[in-house]
């Protein structure tokens, strides 16, 4: 695959300061497909300086003009959709259909939403004898994971641009090619030099240098809770704003009276999509004891239909996980589930193919709330089905983890489901199969994070407030 041997800084591709390289591997066949430079603190410093220098100019561009440039960026993403889809599939392993509909489709919708929000948002409000100005926070450090390579970037860059901020992006080392294509799109859209900068590299070197850089005003991070905690501590010490989108262990609560077959099928799909590598994946299915065995058989049958294999083959529904470390980690959790006494009803720890980082679609029954697989984020195609006695029991189990990112409730009617959802300690709940909404605030309760992304709430994260009294 095509790759730039440089960093996109101040509107051009520039040679990296160091000589280290990152190999990009296709997880479906374990082949090296490209190399990108591994950034150092020196590259990060050059990028932050470029973003700082571009800030006053960009912040002064009238919001409708910023909106027009975000729209132009969206148009480039649309025009280059095929190329981006192929790149996401090559470096992440996601089946082509899912790459097109979700990995590229969703960020295009998010970019569109911020083009309209930038044009319509009230960056000024009147409160009594005050005029309140909502001003860009400044230079943003965006640190993104590999699980949705383009979406995670656009969910930070589009609102930051709409707010009038400038940025430095450090994408995941596993998926830098999608990030390079995004930088090309920014350039083609005519966004001024220095407003968006890209430094590829590893987390502990480039990521850490960026998060700790004194020229950064806001660190927006998506990834693991362990790294998020560290970034939050560093930002706190510097009295710097921080937004953290971390892990999840979301509950899919099926209440008596719900359409069981529909709820189970949707729940299994939610976990198997993207090979279970979604932070809001509904990895815990909660079923009433009277319907439990029926739900287990339905889930096992649904999981078995997730044929794994070459993600470029149209028949494939389940691709590999992103790398060998994730595969080993996920298999370790499957072993642990068996050891702790859960009942394996589909899949298992064995490799389904000789090559590639594949994990079989796996379903566990008889999972109890205290088991490791019911508490920790697995980030693989593994579903746990838990049994509850009554609604109070279901609520205790649903709320009984350190996480609170997503969730779903199914009931006979929307009112019953929504009443239960109000009692859940989590940032999002889908009611009777409610669809993803690019305008709805996305983010976590408890250890799932700080702050919100998407829509007007996501835009507010990139603004700071000034009051003028008259
Ligand atoms: P991660 O290490 O937290 O990676 C997220 C981003 O942070 C990547 O760009 C990473 O760079 C960077 N990073 C790593 N260490 C850093 C540091 N010390 N300072 C600054 N930046 C740093 O996550 P991961 O290792 O890829 O995945 C591990 C687990 O995290 C998964 O199994 C899953 O449980 C969770 N996860 C959650 C999400 C989510 O959307 N909430 C997404 C991905 C993963 P590198 O790419 O070089 O590591
Ligand atoms: Mg990592």
CATH code for position 310: 3.40.309.10
**Distance, CA of 415 to CA of 417 (rounded, Å):** 5
**Distance, CA of 34 to CA of 423 (rounded, Å):** 48
Among residues 173, 279, 453, 461, the one annotated as catalytic is 279
Residues whose beta carbons lie less than 5 angstroms from ion ligand 2: 203
Enumerate residues 6+ apart whose C-beta is below 8 A from 354.
Answer: none
pLDDT-derived band of residue 4, with 50, 70 and 90 as boundaries? Answer: very high
What range does the domain containing 401 cover?
251-437
List pocket residues of ligand 1, CB cut-off 6 Å. Answer: 143-147, 170, 172-174, 202-204, 207-208, 211, 222-224, 227, 230-231, 245-247, 279, 326, 377, 379
Q: Is residue 405 part of a domain?
A: yes
Nearest CA to ligand 1 atom 32: 379
pLDDT-derived band of residue 316, with 50, 70 and 90 as boundaries? Answer: very high
The whole-number average pLDDT for the span 39-60 is 98
Same domain? For 462 and 413 the reply is: no
Same domain? For 377 and 463 the reply is: no
Ligand closest to 147 (CA) is: 1
Q: Is residue 442 part of a domain?
A: no
- Which tens digits make up the pLDDT trace of 226-282? 999 999 999 999 999 999 999 999 999 999 999 999 999 999 999 999 999 999 999
Please report the pLDDT score of residue 109 as a whole number. Answer: 98
**Distance, CA of 200 to CA of 177 (rounded, Å):** 9
Q: Is 451 left (phi over 0), alpha (psi -120 to 50) or beta?
A: left
pLDDT-derived band of residue 420, with 50, 70 and 90 as boundaries? Answer: very high
The number of the ligand 1 atom at minimal distance from the alpha carbon of 322 is: 26
- Which tens digits make up the pLDDT trace of 65-115? 999 999 999 999 999 999 999 999 999 999 999 999 999 999 999 999 999
Q: Is residue 347 part of a domain?
A: yes
Please report the pLDDT score of residue 424 as a whole number. Answer: 98
Share of the chain above pLDDT 90, in %: 100
Same domain? For 410 and 307 the reply is: yes
Residue 291 is among the residues annotated as catalytic for this protein: no
Same domain? For 222 and 287 the reply is: no
Same domain? For 351 and 233 the reply is: no
Same domain? For 278 and 168 the reply is: no
- Which tens digits make up the pLDDT trace of 438-452? 999 999 999 999 999
Same domain? For 197 and 302 the reply is: no
Residue 30 is among the residues annotated as catalytic for this protein: no
Q: Is residue 2 part of a domain?
A: no
Same domain? For 255 and 241 the reply is: no
The whole-number average pLDDT for the span 218-222 is 98
- Which tens digits make up the pLDDT trace of 148-172? 999 999 999 999 999 999 999 999 9
Same domain? For 378 and 255 the reply is: yes
What proportions of the chain, in percent to the nearest 5, are helix, strand and coil?
45, 20, 35
Domain count for the chain, please give it.
Answer: 2
The whole-number average pLDDT for the span 22-46 is 98
Q: Are 466 and 132 in contact (CB under 8 A)?
A: yes
Please report the pLDDT score of residue 250 as a whole number. Answer: 98
Same domain? For 22 and 88 the reply is: yes
Same domain? For 227 and 319 the reply is: no
Please report the pLDDT score of residue 318 as a whole number. Answer: 98
Same domain? For 235 and 256 the reply is: no
pLDDT-derived band of residue 213, with 50, 70 and 90 as boundaries? Answer: very high
pLDDT-derived band of residue 28, with 50, 70 and 90 as boundaries? Answer: very high
**Distance, CA of 72 to CA of 75 (rounded, Å):** 5
């Amino acid at each position: 695959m095509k790759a730039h041997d440089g960093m996109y800084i101040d509107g051009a591709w520039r040679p990296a300061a160091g000589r280290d390289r990152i190999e990009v591997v296709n997880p479906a066949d374990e082949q090296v497909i490209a190399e990108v430079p591994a950034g150092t603190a020196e590259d990060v410093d050059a990028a932050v300086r470029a973003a700082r220098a571009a800030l006053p100019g960009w912040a002064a561009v009238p919001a409708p003009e910023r909106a027009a440039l975000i729209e132009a960026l969206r148009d480039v993403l649309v025009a280059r959709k095929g190329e981006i889809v192929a790149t996401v599939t090559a470096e992440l392993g996601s089946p082509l259909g899912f790459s097109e509909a979700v990995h590229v489709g969703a960020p295009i919708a998010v970019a569109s939403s911020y083009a309209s929000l930038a044009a319509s948002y009230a960056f000024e409000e009147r409160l009594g004898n005050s005029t309140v100005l909502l001003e860009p926070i400044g230079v943003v450090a965006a640190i993104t994971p590999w699980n949705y390579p383009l979406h995670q970037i656009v969910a930070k860059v589009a609102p930051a641009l709409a707010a009038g901020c400038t940025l430095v992006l450090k994408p995941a080392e596993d998926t830098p090619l999608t990030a390079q294509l995004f930088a090309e799109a920014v350039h083609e859209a005519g966004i001024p030099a220095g407003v968006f900068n890209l430094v590829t590299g590893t987390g502990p070197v480039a990521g850490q240098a960026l998060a700790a850089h004194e020229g950064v005003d806001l660190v927006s991070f998506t990834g693991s809770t362990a790294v998020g905690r560290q970034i939050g501590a560093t930002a706190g010490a510097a009295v710097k704003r921080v937004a953290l989108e971390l892990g999840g262990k979301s509950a899919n609560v099926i209440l008596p009276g719900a359409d069981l077959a529909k709820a189970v099928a949707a729940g299994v799909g939610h976990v198997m999509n993207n090979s279970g590598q979604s932070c809001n994946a509904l990895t815990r299915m909660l079923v009433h004891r009277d319907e439990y065995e029926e739900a287990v058989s339905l889930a096992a049958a649904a999981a078995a239909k997730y044929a794994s294999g070459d993600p470029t083959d149209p028949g494939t529904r389940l691709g590999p996980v992103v790398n060998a470390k994730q595969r080993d980690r996920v298999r370790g959790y499957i072993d642990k589930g068996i050891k702790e006494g859960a009942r394996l009803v589909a899949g298992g720890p064995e490799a389904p193919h000789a090559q590639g980082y594949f994990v079989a679609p796996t379903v566990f029954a008889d999972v109890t709330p205290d088991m490791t697989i019911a508490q920790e984020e697995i980030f693989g195609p593994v579903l746990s089905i838990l049994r509850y006695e009554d609604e109070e029991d279901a609520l205790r189990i649903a709320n009984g983890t350190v996480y609170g990112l997503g969730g779903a409730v199914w009931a006979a009617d929307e009112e019953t489901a929504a009443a239960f959802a109000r009692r859940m300690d989590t940032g999002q709940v889908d009611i009777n199969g409610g669809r993803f909404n690019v305008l709805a605030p996305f983010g976590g309760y408890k250890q799932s994070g700080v702050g919100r992304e998407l829509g007007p709430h996501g835009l507010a994260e990139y603004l700071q407030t000034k009051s003028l009294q008259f």
